[in-house]
Structure 1
Amino acid sequence: MNDKDLQNLVETVSLESFGKPFLHQAYFNARLRTTGGRYMLSSHHIEINKKYFEQLGMDELIGIIKHELCHYHLHLEGRGYKHRDQDFRLLLKKVGAPRFCSSLPDRPMRSQSKKVLIYACKECNQIYRRRRAVDTKRYVCGKCKGKLVLEKELTKD
């Protein structure tokens, strides 16, 4: 699928799902990494991440197009086009568009940190659990301003 095919698809989906024409441009943007698509407020163009089509197929692509067209049509009508607006959420439901796109299979999920660092204050024995290391030369106990020391490092299974 190329940009011309995408433009035709967006125009078709707009007429079928919204009953309104799409009068601007839709194209693939290879630089999009964390999102399926985006609606540009200033130019009214729609950019789509081609990886979503390649890895998840036509149904996912149409869902992303519907989502971006919700932003497009509401913005042009002067209604609430942002994710938190009720107009936007109602239109998403009406046309069957997803609120969020699926995650890509080739992009691994960021896993929770497996280690836990236990720090203790030398003065008052206050315990601090952290996932990231604390600079003990720079930071002190929040309770008594005493010196912090690394007690132990735990790893979760």
Structure 2
Amino acid sequence: MTNEEVHQLVCMISARDFQKTFRHEAFFNRRLKTTGGRYMLRTHNIELNYTMYELFGLDELIGIIKHELCHYHLHLEQKGYQHNDRDFKQLLAEVGAPRYCASIKHPAAKTLYKHHYVCNKCGQSYERKRRVNIMKYRCGKCSGQLLEK
């Protein structure tokens, strides 16, 4: 899907579900990583996460667009457009927009252990993110000396 197609989709959803026109720009921002989309207060543009579209498809993208259009229309009408405002929650319910988007699990978010230690006496294994001073610390099981593997 191109930026022109997503802009047409936003205009169509705004007219169909909100009965209002969308007069600004809507486009994909490929740098977005943790959010589905965002409404820019100064420019009134809507930026959408392309990865959300790739992973979850058109239905999830439509939900994100509805959510951002709630921010857009309420802000232009000078009503409560923030997540905790009553006007925002009401409009979300009226148009069937989700409050939160699906979660993207990044492979980098997994716990990566860089250091591996083994007890010299009993063979107990320890994995740590941070380095351990093996001259200062001992095995918790048998008090044996630790060796870095």
Calculate the TM-score normalised by the size of structure 2: 0.72
> Is 1:9 aligned to 2:33, yes or no?
no
For 2:61 and 2:81, locate their aligned partners in 1 and report how far apart those are by CA, in whole Å: 20
For 1:53 and 1:60, locate their aligned partners in 2 and report how far apart those are by CA, in whole Å: 7
User: Is the CA contact 2:36–2:64 (under 8 Å) kept in the aligned structure 1?
Assistant: yes
Q: CA deviation at 1:42?
A: 0.1
> Is 1:101 aligned to 2:98, yes or no?
no
Q: Deviations over 1:134-156 (max 9, x none)?
A: xxxxxxxxxxxxxxxx9x97xxx
RMSD: 2.6
User: Is the CA contact 1:92–1:99 (under 8 Å) kept in the aligned structure 2?
Assistant: yes
For 2:108 and 2:70, locate their aligned partners in 1 and report how far apart those are by CA, in whole Å: 28
Which letter maps to 2:95? Answer: V
Q: Deviations over 1:65-98 (max 9, x none)?
A: 0000000000000000000101001100110001
1:45 is matched with 45
* Pair 69,109 (structure 1): closer, same or farther in 2 beyond 3 Å: farther
Calculate the TM-score normalised by the size of structure 1: 0.69
1:80 is matched with 80
Q: CA deviation at 1:104?
A: 2.2
Which letter maps to 1:77? Answer: E
Give the alignment of 1:74-153 within 5 angstroms: 74-104=74-104, 107-108=106-107, 110=109
Structure 1 stretches (4+) deviating beyond 4 angstroms? 108-112
Structure 2 unaligned blocks of 5 or more: 112-129, 131-136, 141-149
For 1:108 and 1:86, locate their aligned partners in 2 and report how far apart those are by CA, in whole Å: 37
Report the 3-state secondary structure (helix = DSSP H, G, I; strand = E; otherwise coil) of the residue aligned with 1:38.
Answer: strand
Q: Deviations over 1:8-57 (max 9, x none)?
A: 00000000110000000000001111000000000000000001111100
Structure 1 unaligned blocks of 5 or more: 113-132, 134-149
Sequence identity, in percent?
A: 54
For 2:108 and 2:96, locate their aligned partners in 1 and report how far apart those are by CA, in whole Å: 26
For 1:110 and 1:88, locate their aligned partners in 2 and report how far apart those are by CA, in whole Å: 31
Which letter maps to 1:79? Answer: K
Q: Report the number of matched residues.
A: 122
For 1:19 and 1:108, locate their aligned partners in 2 and report how far apart those are by CA, in whole Å: 41
